[in-house]
Structure 1
Amino acid sequence: MIRFDGAVLRNGGFSLRADLTVLGPGICAIVGPSGAGKSTLLLALAGFASIGAGRLMIGEQDVTALPPAQRPVSVLFQDHNLFAHLDVAANVSLGLRPDLRLNAAQKSRVQQVLQHTGLQGLSARKPAMLSGGQQQRVAIARALLRDRPVLLLDEAFGALGPGLRREMLTLVRTVAVEQNLTVLMVTHEPEDARAIADHVLFVAQGQVHPPLPTAEFFAAPPRAVADYLGLD
């Protein structure tokens, strides 16, 4: 469970109000106009944007003042954040130890997650030798190894074509179920939400609106949401 209690999220000169609960595990899509504050919401969850008022709870833990490294959160951005000089196995291993000094059990975990994400046989390749979808799988594998209950996706699949995008969405849905993750996913594509999200929350005009079940969100949207979706 993720709960914003009367929170004001600040990112530079921009502020966003949030007073809501996201139940987990499951997938919650975040939609809204460009510049509305969707990324600010994720940055605040991860600890990279400040909370000027109120508080943020993840489970039973108040994380409002915790630094990013101490939060039970992993973040996946569109640019993957892979290191060009490291091979696939090393890039993934960073999810366990930044110094890459893995013991036998940790090395075994790396191999397991590579297999789980369809990267077996690619462990010695550098990122430049991978397709866009394979690079995305490396980033997902690293996030899974961090073993955090909350996974944040900030337009993580925006640069992929339709086929790879569907493939990555299916992978996210699979690992979310298997790992009991709570996933918050920023997307500009309503079809992404329809495909894998359990709930959808809408961000607009400085306000984060409480999430609605996906079917309800699209079947009977509030007026502001209908305007955003271009519905009559």
Structure 2
Amino acid sequence: MRPYSPRERGLRLADVAIRLDGRTLIEIDRLIAPGDVLTVMGPSGSGKSTLFALIAGFLDPAFASEGRVFLDGEAIDEKRPERRSVGLLFQDALLFPHMSVGANLLFALKRDARGQAARRERAGAMLARVGLEGLFDRDPATLSGGQAARVALARTLLAEPRALLLDEPFSRLDAPLRTAMRELVFGLVRERAIPALLVTHDREDAEAAGGPLVELVPRRS
């Protein structure tokens, strides 16, 4: 395993290997620096989703894994998912339907953000940052697909993740919205210096991310 420093910044996948029934799905050794996006592409069954699950802490026990995952020099692979400081953005917005847009955002704020007025101000500022100022009290059911995607992004960023996992986040958007969301997401990743891993089938996503690309192929045992 490659040596690491506790002062190393970014998300390191150190000699990571994932296997199922003795068959190797993926092997990867990479450092994703703050503000960079590593794109992982490949067909179904090539290991993209299992890598995502390993980093997030949701890997099915049926899979065997080797190697370590470090975030800013700290091993996170044995921590509970909620303690890994890893943000998740999926194909679907997955907003809580029984909560307003603002309540969805407030749910993501850490407990150290105290005071109702201060918490609402922070949530409102993030809404404005993603171009949705004034929608705090809206019902998520009334949002367009692009608006819901931006609310999901705002909610993820309000949790102050130290790394970001992007699972086909643009695939359900039409072409103009997809372009706008790519610019917004990758711009905020760079602005906030968050290491990000993008899983996608779309080569245009990889080109927009502007970082290194890993292409996976299904492996035989």
Q: State whether residues 95 and 140 of structure 2, in contact with CA within 8 Å, keep that contact through their aligned partners in structure 1.
A: yes
Q: State whether residues 10 and 52 of structure 1, in contact with CA within 8 Å, keep that contact through their aligned partners in structure 2.
A: yes
Secondary structure class of the residue paired with 2:67: strand
| Aligned mate of 1:43, from 47, 53, 71 | 53
Specify the alignment match of 2:25 in structure 1. 16
Indicate the larger mover: 148-157 or 1-10.
1-10
Q: Percent identity?
A: 38
| Aligned mate of 1:170, from 180, 183, 194 | 183
Specify the alignment match of 1:220 in structure 2. none
Distance 1:108 1:33, change over 3 A: same
Distance 1:85 1:10, change over 3 A: farther
- The separation in 1 between residues aligned to 2:194 and 2:21, in whole angstroms, is 30
Deviation of 1:7 (Å): 2.5
- The separation in 1 between residues aligned to 2:49 and 2:11, in whole angstroms, is 16
Deviation of 1:21 (Å): 1.3
- The separation in 2 between residues aligned to 1:156 and 1:102, in whole angstroms, is 32
- The separation in 1 between residues aligned to 2:95 and 2:108, in whole angstroms, is 11
Specify the alignment match of 1:217 in structure 2. none
1:74 maps to 2:71: no
Structure 1, unaligned runs of 5 or more? 208-232
AA at the equivalent of 1:32 = G
Secondary structure class of the residue paired with 2:108: coil
Deviation of 1:9 (Å): 2.8
Specify the alignment match of 1:94 in structure 2. 107
TM-score, with length taken from structure 1: 0.81
- The separation in 2 between residues aligned to 1:105 and 1:11, in whole angstroms, is 48
RMSD of equivalent CA atoms: 2.4
Secondary structure class of the residue paired with 1:41: helix
Distance 1:206 1:149, change over 3 A: farther
Q: Deviations over 1:157-198 (max 9, x none)?
A: 111111110010010122112111111111111011112222
Q: State whether residues 165 and 196 of structure 2, in contact with CA within 8 Å, keep that contact through their aligned partners in structure 1.
A: yes
- The separation in 2 between residues aligned to 1:58 and 1:206, in whole angstroms, is 28
Specify the alignment match of 1:5 in structure 2. 14
Deviation of 1:14 (Å): 7.5
| Aligned mate of 1:120, from 123, 130, 133 | 133
Deviation of 1:27 (Å): 1.4
Q: State whether residues 26 and 46 of structure 2, in contact with CA within 8 Å, keep that contact through their aligned partners in structure 1.
A: no
Secondary structure class of the residue paired with 1:135: helix
- The separation in 1 between residues aligned to 2:142 and 2:87, in whole angstroms, is 25
- The separation in 1 between residues aligned to 2:106 and 2:18, in whole angstroms, is 32
TM-score, with length taken from structure 2: 0.84
Q: State whether residues 38 and 213 of structure 2, in contact with CA within 8 Å, keep that contact through their aligned partners in structure 1.
A: yes
